[in-house]
Amino acid sequence: MTRILDDERRLIEARVSLTRQIDRGGVVLSSELAGAFLNVPRHPFVPVFYRRDGERFVPWRGTDDPDAWLDAVHTDDSLITEVDGIHAEDAAPEGVSGVPTSSSTAPSLMADMLDALDVHEGHEVYEAGTGTGYNAGMLCFLAGAGHVTTVEHTGTLVERARTRLNAIGFDPRVRHGDAARGLPAGAVYDRIIATASVRRIPPEWVTHLRTGGIMVVPLRSTLAGGSVVRLTKLADGAAAGHFLHTPAAFMPLGSGVEAAVPAPGLPDGPGAQARLSGRVLDDWTFSFFAQLHLPPGLVRTYGLNDAGLHVTTLHDPADGSVARVEDTPDGPAVVTVGGPRDLWGPVEAAHALWQRLNRPRREWFTVEVNGGEQTVAHTAPGGRVHRWRLRA
């Protein structure tokens, strides 16, 4: 009995510690949201997750040094649960190499999104992307399990999440399917939240959101680490809102393992003097703005050359356009472009406009979804409105 009480006390202390970390990190927790983190345990949803070990990802189980494992679970960090489609629970002890394809979101980011969602008891809630089920557990605590529908495209994750939610006393509707389409006919939700990213808001989500309802969705970005938008359904059927302030990179919704993008061939020909170094894109405030002027599938790679100088390469797999921007020891950077389009000129033009607009932050931008049109807008101090289309 003493051991059981000690274990329960240790779990309670771990949840209290996690809640304090979130609160200290800048997210103002309401009493309801704090209650969710204090009462919904994280550890049942991530019994195994990956740790990096050099170039490999090694599964870490609760039986492998339980105290250290429990501390890691209750740290305000994301936990990698899948690499190249291999879930940590199914991985061999020596681990795997590849690219992470699923994770348990950092609790402070969960808290920020749940705070924006503003869920209360009795709200009908739709979650796109069940994942581990931990966020669904939060929604069950806040709205009531009978009011929560969560959809996941991976069958194994559906069964595991359902089992773990049931084990802690929650019985929401956990469904296997395409979370962006095929919502139940006639269903109307007060709140919709996605835990995976999309390039554009799926029209069905707007259709099934009640007038006055709120939607919180991560948008995929080419440069800025991703963003989260909060939209409200308007009486005319459109949805409008704004970006949250925090950059947030999420796995793509329902993608499974993404095909690798082939490395671009280096552009031939002489370079030209660039007005900016490629390092300008390291500023997430500017890179958020820059991506509004660039193709949606753009890929950026960067690093140091043999002389230790910064090099950025931009590549559009859609048409093979490529730009390489390389710092020089004593003067301006040199840019070399190839393919049908110049990818660096729009970055320099965007930077000049960003400066004229007084370097606006992402939370100063609004989003509107109206039928097939999805736009991002910024209103300058003088009243001029700048608009950009969201592209798939």
Each domain of the chain, given as residue ranges in start order, spans 2-90+101-243, 272-355
Query: What averages of pLDDT result for each successive group of 10 residues across the chain (392 residues)?
Result: 60 92 84 96 95 93 88 94 92 92 92 97 97 97 98 93 97 96 92 94 96 96 87 97 90 63 70 94 94 91 92 93 93 92 96 96 96 94 94 80
Query: pLDDT value at position 261?
Result: 62
Under 8 Å between Cβ of 334 and 325: yes
Residues 6+ apart with CB under 8 A from 278: 302, 310, 311, 312, 325, 326, 327, 333
CA gap 336, 172 in Å, rounded: 54
Q: Would you give the distance in Å from CA 134 to the centre of its chain?
A: 16
Helix (H) or strand (E) holding 272: strand 272-273
Query: pLDDT value at position 252?
Result: 85
Is domain 2-90+101-243 annotated with CATH 3.40.50.720? no
Query: pLDDT value at position 63?
Result: 83
Q: Cβ-count burial of 118 within 10 angstroms (0-12 exposed, 13-18 middle, 19+ buried)? A: middle
CA distances from 34 to 3, 79, 107, 130, 252 (A): 28, 21, 11, 21, 28
CA distances from 54 to 25, 57, 148, 239, 384 (A): 29, 8, 40, 45, 50
Angle, helices 31-39/107-117, rounded to nearest 10 degrees: 140
Q: Would you give the distance in Å from CA 49 to the centre of its chain?
A: 18
**DSSP state, residue 208:** T
Q: Please provide the CATH number assigned to the domain covering 272-355.
A: 3.30.160
